């Protein structure tokens, strides 16, 4: 209860001082407003002290007669409640403000904007949507309202509306929304794929790549759909594109790429491609794939030399794990137990490490999210590079 009381009282303190000043000033003019305002103020305090915050709000709302001088107090009080997660109370205060006929146009719009934020916080997206659509017509609130509308359409997974409003943001702000728009098209493609509508999925992916030609997600999805349909050559073309889009994502498709090449029986071309990827810094997963492919033509010692040379330049736990594994079979009996212990320790260490990290906020985990669950940005989560990653 006290944590509710304190900020409210702090907020109302300047107002009560100001009211006192006004009362005093008007009293001098022969009219005692003290008798009119003070009872309401103390009634509100009484409700607060008796742990009846909603009745207290009613009393304070009544007390704070809305005019150009008190409207900021109303807005501040409403925002305070929203920030504290007490959205119902924020909504009541902002609705009360809007209901006042004396409110000027600009202040009314400000109150509408705050109310729309309240609805967002309460998850009442349909109400927030209609308010933001109204506010889009006003130049000073247009951009912020468009951005909120896109947030709503993302939440309710209405990707086409998210695309349309993102183009409007791009037009007004001059800031490219291409990365996000491509992700929305990928979302359309994933929905279509789940529904078995592969034609729509392919169209959406083509549009995604037109919006953002470096969309790794579109290439991965396109390759997977082709592979599933038994179109290995087309799948290979999609997967190979990732090398130029963002090489860090190559480990995501390495297994699919290898199986497609094996299906068309062209391992020579696969090896050539993977070596090119390695030269470009594709990461240890690609190296391990190459070493496995070469197992038929190399013995364990030769494979170990390849890995050691790579680890000197690019140290990583995954590479170390594979290297120990190669040595276990050739170690003496006493050394083998130690190596096996070391091997299991390294595996435990790898298991504890996250695989992906967001460039924007640092969120990390073992699942690849295209929209960061923490900062909500799109395409910022990538496979971790370096000693603990690729």
Residue ranges that bind Zn ion, judged by CB under 5 A: 358, 360-361, 363, 372, 374-375
Q: Which is nearer to Zn ion, 79 or 371 (CB)?
A: 371
Instruction: Give least dist CB 285 to Zn ion, A.
Output: 23
Q: Which is nearer to Zn ion, 34 or 360 (CB)?
A: 360
When computed from its CA atoms, the radius of gyration of the chain, rounded to whole angstroms, is: 31
Order of strands, edge to edge, in the sheet holding 356-358?
364-365, 356-358, 381-383
Instruction: Give least dist CB 170 to Zn ion, A.
Output: 22
Q: Which is nearer to Zn ion, 124 or 361 (CB)?
A: 361
**CA-to-CA distance for 359 and 302, rounded, in angstroms?**
37
Contacts of 225 (CB under 8 A, 6+ apart): 193, 198, 201, 202, 205
Q: Which is nearer to Zn ion, 168 or 374 (CB)?
A: 374
Instruction: Give least dist CB 304 to Zn ion, A.
Output: 38
Instruction: Give least dist CB 150 to Zn ion, A.
Output: 17
**CA-to-CA distance for 217 and 224, rounded, in angstroms?**
11
Q: DSSP assignment of 236-263, as one string?
A: HHHHHHHHHH-GGGHHHHHHHHHHHHHH
Instruction: Name which of 338, 389, 339 is nearest 365 in CA terms.
Output: 389
Q: Which is nearer to Zn ion, 89 or 357 (CB)?
A: 357
Q: Which is nearer to Zn ion, 339 or 375 (CB)?
A: 375
**CA-to-CA distance for 93 and 211, rounded, in angstroms?**
43
Instruction: Give least dist CB 363 to Zn ion, A.
Output: 5
Instruction: Give least dist CB 347 to Zn ion, A.
Output: 28
**Nearest-10 Cα torsion for 94, 96, 102, 106:** 10
């Amino acid at each position: 209860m006290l944590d509710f009381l304190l900020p409210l009282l702090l907020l109302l303190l300047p107002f009560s001082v100001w009211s006192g000043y006004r009362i005093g000033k008007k009293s001098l003019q022969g009219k005692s407003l003290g008798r009119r305002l003070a009872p309401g103020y103390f009634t509100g305090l009484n409700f607060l002290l008796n742990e009846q915050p909603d009745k207290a709000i009613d009393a304070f709302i009544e007390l704070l007669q809305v005019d150009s001088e008190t409207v900021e107090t109303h807005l501040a009080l409403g925002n305070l409640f929203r920030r504290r997660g007490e959205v119902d109370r924020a909504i009541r205060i902002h609705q009360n403000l809007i209901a006042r006929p004396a409110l000027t146009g600009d202040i009314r719009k400000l109150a509408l904007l705050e109310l729309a934020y309240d609805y967002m916080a309460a998850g009442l997206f349909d109400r927030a949507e209609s308010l933001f659509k109204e506010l889009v017509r006003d130049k000073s609130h247009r951009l912020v309202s468009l951005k909120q509308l896109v947030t709503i359409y993302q939440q309710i997974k209405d990707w086409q509306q998210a695309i349309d409003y993102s183009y409007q943001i791009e037009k007004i702000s001059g800031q490219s929304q291409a990365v996000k728009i491509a992700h929305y098209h990928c979302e359309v493609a994933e929905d279509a794929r789940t529904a078995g509508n592969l034609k729509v999925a392919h169209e959406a992916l083509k549009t995604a790549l037109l919006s953002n030609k470096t969309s790794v997600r579109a290439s991965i999805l396109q390759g997977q759909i082709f592979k599933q349909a038994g179109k290995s050559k087309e799948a290979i073309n999609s997967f190979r594109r990732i090398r130029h889009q963002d090489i860090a994502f190559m480990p995501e498709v390495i297994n699919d790429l290898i199986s497609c090449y094996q299906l068309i029986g062209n391992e020579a071309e696969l090896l050539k491609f993977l070596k090119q990827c390695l030269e470009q810094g594709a990461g240890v997963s690609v190296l391990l794939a190459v070493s496995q492919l070469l197992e038929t033509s190399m013995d364990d010692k030769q494979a170990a030399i390849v890995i050691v040379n790579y680890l000197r330049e690019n140290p990583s736990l995954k590479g170390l794990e594979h290297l120990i594994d190669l040595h276990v079979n050739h170690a003496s009996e006493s050394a083998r137990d130690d190596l096996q212990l070391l091997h299991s320790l390294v595996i435990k260490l790898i298991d504890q490490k996250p695989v992906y990290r967001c460039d924007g906020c640092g969120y990390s985990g073992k699942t690849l999210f295209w929209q960061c669950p923490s900062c909500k940005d799109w395409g910022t989560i990538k496979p971790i590079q370096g000693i603990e990653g690729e």
